[in-house]
Structures are given as structure tokens and as C-alpha cells.
Amino acid sequence: MTLDKSFQLQILMPSGIYYQDQIMELVFPAKDGLRAILYNHAPFLSAIGKGVLRINKPDGTSKQFEIQQGMLHIKQNLCTILTEHIGLSQDIVSQT
């Protein structure tokens, strides 16, 4: 029996949902250094600084997003990121 240790991630921009998926781990640039979020993390609110978000998915793949700044909230295995500037690789999407 395999236990599912994934949680829901949604990245929101002013225009709507930018990204949504089940993930295993999120590493993000907090204002005071890198932080990681895993399954069953305690409720948490944090400012996000400029840097790279790394997402590890249940199938073993990962994605990286460049983010300028934002806010992260996690509660009951739902992680929500609010931002105006994010993109994959060199492709930054801005909503201002």
C-alpha cells in the first residue's frame, strides 16, 4: 500500500489561475532564505522574494518557475501563492 503524500498547489495571478497541480514538495524563496513545504505542513503564511520556485511532483518530475515576489499560504494541504510576476524559465508573465 502506497500512501499519497501530495498536496494541492495553486498559483494565482490577478487574471486568474496560472498553475494548479498535486505536488510532493515546494521550495520557494522567502524573504529570509529558501523554505520548503511538504505534505501536512502546519498552517503558514509567508512573503515570497525574488527567485526560483521548485515544484517536485508525485511522478518524479519537477518544474521551476521564476517569481518576482508574492505571498504564500498553506492550510490543510492546500498551498496558495498570490503573485503578479511569474514564469517558466526565461518566460516571465506579468499582470500589472
Residue-wise pLDDT tens digits, 25-58? 999 999 999 999 999 999 999 999 999 999 999 9
The residue-averaged pLDDT of 79-96 equals 74
Q: How far apart are CA 24 and CA 9, in angstroms?
A: 10
- The confidence band for 3, taking pLDDT boundaries of 50, 70 and 90, is low
Domains and CATH numbers, the chain: 7-94 (2.60.15.10)
- Encoded amino acid at 21, one letter: D
